[in-house]
Amino acid sequence: MLKELEKEGVETELIELSGSTIHGCLSCRKCSTRKDHRCSQTGDMGNLLIEKMEKADGILLGSPTYVTDVSPEIKALMDRACLVSKANGACSATKWARLWLQCGALERCMPSIP
């Protein structure tokens, strides 16, 4: 898919999460208090990836399906990115409508996308 986009002049970046450390959301809501576009957790790739996602014009996410769900790494990233973005007013339907998952789990972040 990325090669096809690149043929059309779209800049792409492939980031593979397999083997990466991404902690799950603690639901501490510090992102809502601090409003600095960052998760309070450190020591993993979470904030780096959230920053890349917020700057992107489009986001394609793909994951194998494990017992009817995405991989633990992508689930952790989605949970944290959605909360940080929502806390900072960036979780709009137009931004997250670009989010795509092979298993159709888009509803986890934005259930009301038209």
Q: Is the pTM of this model over 0.85?
A: no
Print the domain residue range for 101.
Answer: 26-105
Residue 55 lies in a domain: yes
User: How many whole angstroms separate alpha carbon 21 and alpha carbon 24?
Assistant: 10
Query: Cα–Cα distance between 84 and 74 in angstroms, integer?
Result: 15
7 occurs within a structural domain: no
Tens of pLDDT, residues 23-59: 999 999 999 999 999 999 999 999 999 999 888 888 8
Angle at 107 (CA atoms; ends 25, 18), nearest 5 degrees = 50
Tally of domains in the chain: 1
Any domain includes 16:
no
Phi-psi category of residue 27: left, alpha or beta, with phi > 0 → left and psi -120 to 50 → alpha: left
**Of the listed ranges 64-68, 69-73, 98-102, the one predicted with least confidence:** 98-102
Alpha carbons 39 and 25: distance in angstroms, whole number: 9
